[in-house]
Structure 1
């Protein structure tokens, strides 16, 4: 399905998004690092008959031109986006890094959601372990890996960009992240990850964006550790992929779910890229929250 391109004002500019239409409750769809709003296209196609799904390009991603200057802006933008949409008590759905974004926005009181849905994006470490993990994201080894595997920050000509998109589609079936995704969707998401910059295209996010977002403040009250769930009062569903990033930590996810009423653990057969490879199943879980 094709949604409508929209602009969503935030403090220092506008974020881009896709309004997929529909009526009823607002459902905000927030992608993970390296993805963009297009990743939710197939999920949204299963939602529009029952609600109003909108996906956003986080700053530094997709077609959104604002970039992060501190580690909290990407989740603080969630509150501004909900305000721009004039939504009252929407359902917030976040995948991977987007899962923490929607959680942090609710934990900080920026949004009062009807429910949260975190898709293979739970934060399970204590503060010290989380700080160490974020520090490792800024190591030369990790940065080199991100440049090599994902080409983050790459400056490409028209020909290079189109050839790369075609390569990603051609190799999707064997790719650890895209295996099982619809080829046309892989093309849409990959193409949207390039932003025109002068005579070239920039593969987003850039390394600078990754470095900024991973520079979390140790004493921040809302912090990407397991303690953030203590600040939530809304219903919470955590979607756990059986071949995802947290498959081996199911007991810890279960502990988060069991810590408060109104929480649910939803298992799904998938690798990490749940929105693109299991859209119908994920949409069914989201519809249960309405």
Structure 2
């Protein structure tokens, strides 16, 4: 489906995004770490007759040149995005790290959301346990792992970028993250992950420095990525839990978060972590139920 490139002003810079158009309830789509706005193209294709849809590239991702200097900016930006769009009470949909982004922005009162849809992006631990888990993304060893797995921060010329993107497309059917994705969608997402630089090269986004920055929140911060964040949210929350996703083994913990307040729902689906790309129709149907026709 077609989408218009867009830019949205945020504190200290501009985020790039995709405006999918549509009509009905306003829905903001927020990708996870390492992805970008293009991952939502197939989901949006199932929703444009029912919803008004925008997706953004978070700081340090896709075509958003501005990066993070603090661990909270990427989710605080969502308040600026909704304000720039002049939206009232949108539905916020977040996948993976984007799931925490929409959660934190709502908990902090930056967005008055009509509902949240959190797709394999829950936070389930207390602050001490969460801080230990976050520590794995700090230091040079973590950066090297990410560079080896995803080429984060790699600078390439046009031909090198093209060759790498096509390699990702060829390997997508056996890749742990992309298996089941439409090949052209993999191509578009990977191409959008390279930001053109002034020297003629392209940089694979995000960089390992970006990941390290957002992975080092202050455990004393009011809105820390720990399970207590849900205590500050009053709107309905739908948690989408794929049976082969990152949180599949913690189904009972997710169930406890759901049971802790009314207007929360757990929807279990068959699939892996990359739900927006591998299960777009199923995810779109869930979002449609959260976004009554205007």
Task: Name the TM tier (shorter chain).
Answer: over 0.9
* Consecutive unaligned residues in structure 1, runs of 5 or more: none
Residues 163-182 of structure 1: pairs in structure 2 closer than 5 A: 163-182=163-182
Residues 221-240 of structure 1: pairs in structure 2 closer than 5 A: 221-240=222-241
- Which residue of structure 2 aligns with residue 189 of structure 1? 189
Give the Cα separation in 1 of the matches to 2:2 and 2:125: 38
- Which residue of structure 2 aligns with residue 80 of structure 1? 80
- Which residue of structure 1 aligns with residue 287 of structure 2? 286
* Shift of residue 140, structure 1, vs aligned partner: 2.9
Divergent runs of 4+, >6 A: none
- Which residue of structure 2 aligns with residue 265 of structure 1? 266
- Which residue of structure 2 aligns with residue 149 of structure 1? 149
Secondary structure of 2:21 counterpart: coil
- Which residue of structure 2 aligns with residue 277 of structure 1? 278
* Consecutive unaligned residues in structure 2, runs of 5 or more: none
Superposed CA offset, 1:45-76 (max 9, x none): 01100010110000100001110000000000
* Shift of residue 132, structure 1, vs aligned partner: 1.0
Give the Cα separation in 1 of the matches to 2:30 and 2:147: 23
Secondary structure of 1:21 counterpart: strand
Give the Cα separation in 2 of the matches to 1:11 and 1:172: 36
1:70 aligns with 2:63: no
TM-score, normalized by length of structure 2?
A: 0.98
- Which residue of structure 1 aligns with residue 200 of structure 2? 199
- Which residue of structure 2 aligns with residue 208 of structure 1? 209
1:250 aligns with 2:251: yes
**CA RMSD in angstroms, aligned pairs only:** 0.6
Give the Cα separation in 1 of the matches to 2:175 and 2:2: 25
Give the Cα separation in 2 of the matches to 1:4 and 1:182: 21
Q: How many residues align?
A: 290
Secondary structure of 1:104 counterpart: helix
* Shift of residue 142, structure 1, vs aligned partner: 2.0
- Which residue of structure 1 aligns with residue 14 of structure 2? 14
- Which residue of structure 2 aligns with residue 35 of structure 1? 35
Secondary structure of 1:265 counterpart: strand
Superposed CA offset, 1:131-154 (max 9, x none): 111111113332211000100000
